[in-house]
Amino acid sequence: MLSTRTGEGDSRSDRAVPSVALMTQRVAVVTGTAQGMGLRIADVLREDGFAVVGFDLQESKDGIVGNVASAADVERLTEHVMSTHGRVDVLVNNAGIAGIVPFEDTTLEQWERIMAVNLTGPFLLTKALGKVMLEQGSGCVVNIASVAGLQGVADRAPTTPRSTGSSG
């Protein structure tokens, strides 16, 4: 790593800058990489030559442990990606949880947890990493959603607004 000063009064003045060689590889951040679709998405991106940074509550290959619904964890992830890779080309908002329970039996706690992971998480990640993409002049955000956002599914009432919100 190189260290550089960006100027007086600049809050980024002593931050580490990755080497030029590292900055030429495409970088993808994928949430929910400990299992299932997230794990497979990360593997496919790696096979296509991406450096992949996973983000999950559980440990995962090349991953950072954290909560997508935590602003502090998302900030820590963003700092890690930038200090390690210097860029981000793709964000895949894949992490999600389903509420498989009749609507009338859904508790407020269940509802709030589902909304935090499934809507607040992608908001925080897209805000933080999207800012980086805007500054570098390129990038792609992919939001994974369920077909429940297009048509209601019995016993998945909390999933429907999540999918509509992340695909709309």
Domains along the chain? 15-167 (3.40.50.720)
Alpha-carbon distance values, 140 to 39, 45, 89, 106 (Å):
19, 13, 6, 34
SS3 content of the chain, % helix, strand, coil (to 5): 45, 15, 40
In this prediction the pTM is 0.79
Quote the pLDDT of residue 153: 62
pLDDT (tens digit, 0 to 9) for every residue of the chain, 168 residues total?
222 333 344 444 444 545 454 557 899 999 999 999 999 999 999 999 999 999 999 998 778 999 999 999 999 999 999 999 999 999 999 999 887 888 889 899 999 999 999 999 999 999 999 999 999 999 999 999 877 656 666 665 555 555 555 555
